[in-house]
Structure 1
Amino acid sequence: MFCEANQIKQVFINLLKNAIEAMPNGGIVRISIYRQNSNEINISITDQGEGIEPERIPYLGQPFYSLKEKGTGLGLMVCSKIVKEHRGEMEFHSELGKGTSVDITFPLTTAE
């Protein structure tokens, strides 16, 4: 995968921080990386937090939309922007009481 390393690092920092903060009583954060097909790689970050209501998921990543009491909503917005700049996609899957998973798909490329 050809990318801007510091930007991808920022995506991971933001998503891992969110996953940890979603579990105030502890839990497991699972990171999975696998080749989806010959042209794409998938990175999944899953927590065991309280989950997110389905009607809120479409708003994640919008500026100033946050589910945290003191959140700014800018972390996921930055993640979304970076992923799109790398021609990737980011999807959220969540189940109340079980946790949330963020799936990121990036194209596999060589240096341009």
Structure 2
Amino acid sequence: IECDENRLKQVFLNFIKNGIEAMPNGGELHVKTMIHDNNVQISIQDTGVGIPKEKLKQLGEPFYTTKKNGNGLGLMVSFKIIENHNGKVFVESEPNKGTTFNILLPAKPA
């Protein structure tokens, strides 16, 4: 992919940190990559507390947070960085089962 690697590093660290914080009693965090329809897909999946459906829609809004000490800017900035790379973020979550952040970025033509 063509990217600003420091910006993407910021996104990955943010999503991974959020995943770790969503598992206060421990759990598993998986990071997977694959090529899918001319896109690179990066999935960051945790087995944490999950996010209720009604709150999923608001993720990425400025100052909206589901965390006690969050300021609601990390996801907003991360989503914007992915958008600026012509990518998309899809979030899947189920309470008490965990959350997956799927990042799709256009693959550079070979």
**One-letter amino acid matched to 2:105:** F
Question: Counterparts of 1:86 and 1:65 in 2: how far apart (Å)?
Answer: 23
Give 3-state SS (helix, strand or coil) of 1:70's partner.
coil
- Per-residue deviation at 1:97? 1.0
1:41-80 to structure 2, matched below 5 A, reads: 41-80=40-79
Report Cα offsets for 1:82-103 as digits up to 9, x if no partner.
0000000001100111000000
Counterpart in the other structure of 1:97 = 96
1:23-42 to structure 2, matched below 5 A, reads: 23-37=23-37, 39-42=38-41
Give 3-state SS (helix, strand or coil) of 1:59's partner.
coil
Question: Counterparts of 1:106 and 1:41 in 2: how far apart (Å)?
Answer: 5
Question: Counterparts of 1:97 and 1:11 in 2: how far apart (Å)?
Answer: 24
Give 3-state SS (helix, strand or coil) of 2:64's partner.
coil
What stretches of structure 1 of length at least 5 have no aligned partner? Answer: none
Give 3-state SS (helix, strand or coil) of 2:57's partner.
helix
TM-score normalised by length of structure 1: 0.95
Count of residue correspondences: 109
Report Cα offsets for 1:7-37 as digits up to 9, x if no partner.
0000001000000000000011000100012
Counterpart in the other structure of 2:13 = 13
Percentage of matched positions with identical amino acids: 46
Instruction: Note if 1:4 corresponds to 2:4.
Output: yes
**Which stretches of structure 1, 4 residues or more, deviate above 6 A after TM superposition?**
none
What stretches of structure 2 of length at least 5 have no aligned partner? Answer: none
